[in-house]
A and B are shown apart, each in its own frame.
Chain A
Amino acid sequence: MWNSPAEFFAMGGYALYVWGSFGVCVLVLFLEPLLVRARFKAIVRRLKQEQLAEQFDRESSK
Chain B
Amino acid sequence: MNQVNNPSFSNSRLINWFKLSSPSTFYPVAGKLIPVFWALTVAFGLAGLWISFFIAPVDAVQGQAYRIIFIHVPASWMSMFIYLAMAAWAGLGLIFNTRLSAMMAQALAPVGAWMTFLSLWTGALWGKPMWGAWWVWDARLTSELILLFLYLGFMALQASIDNRRRADKAGAILALVGVVNVPIIYFSVKWWNTLHQGASVSLTKAPAMAQIMLWGMLLMALCFWMYSIAVGLMRLRAIILEREAHTDWVRQLSEVKS
Contacts and interface: CB of A to CB of B under 8 A. Distances in A.
B71 A17 contact: no
A43 B241 contact: yes
5 contacts: A1-B58, A11-B64, A17-B125, A17-B128, A43-B245
A14 B256 contact: no
Contacts of A36: 231, 234-235, 238
Contacts of B122: 21, 24-25
Give the interface size class of chain B. Answer: 35 or more
A40 B238 contact: yes
Interface of B: 53-54, 57-58, 63-65, 67-68, 71-72, 75, 110-111, 114, 117-118, 121-122, 125-126, 128-129, 227, 230-231, 234-235, 237-238, 241-242, 245, 250-251, 255-258
A52 B111 CA distance: 34
A56 B199 CA distance: 63
A34 B186 CA distance: 32
Interface in A5-34: 8, 11-14, 16-18, 20-22, 24-25, 28-29, 32-33
A11 B65 contact: yes
Interface in A22-61: 22, 24-25, 28-29, 32-33, 36-37, 39-40, 43-44, 46-48, 50-52, 55
Give the interface size class of chain A. Answer: 20 to 34
A51 B251 contact: yes
B68 A18 contact: yes
B256 A25 contact: no
A52 B258 CA distance: 7
B234 A20 contact: no
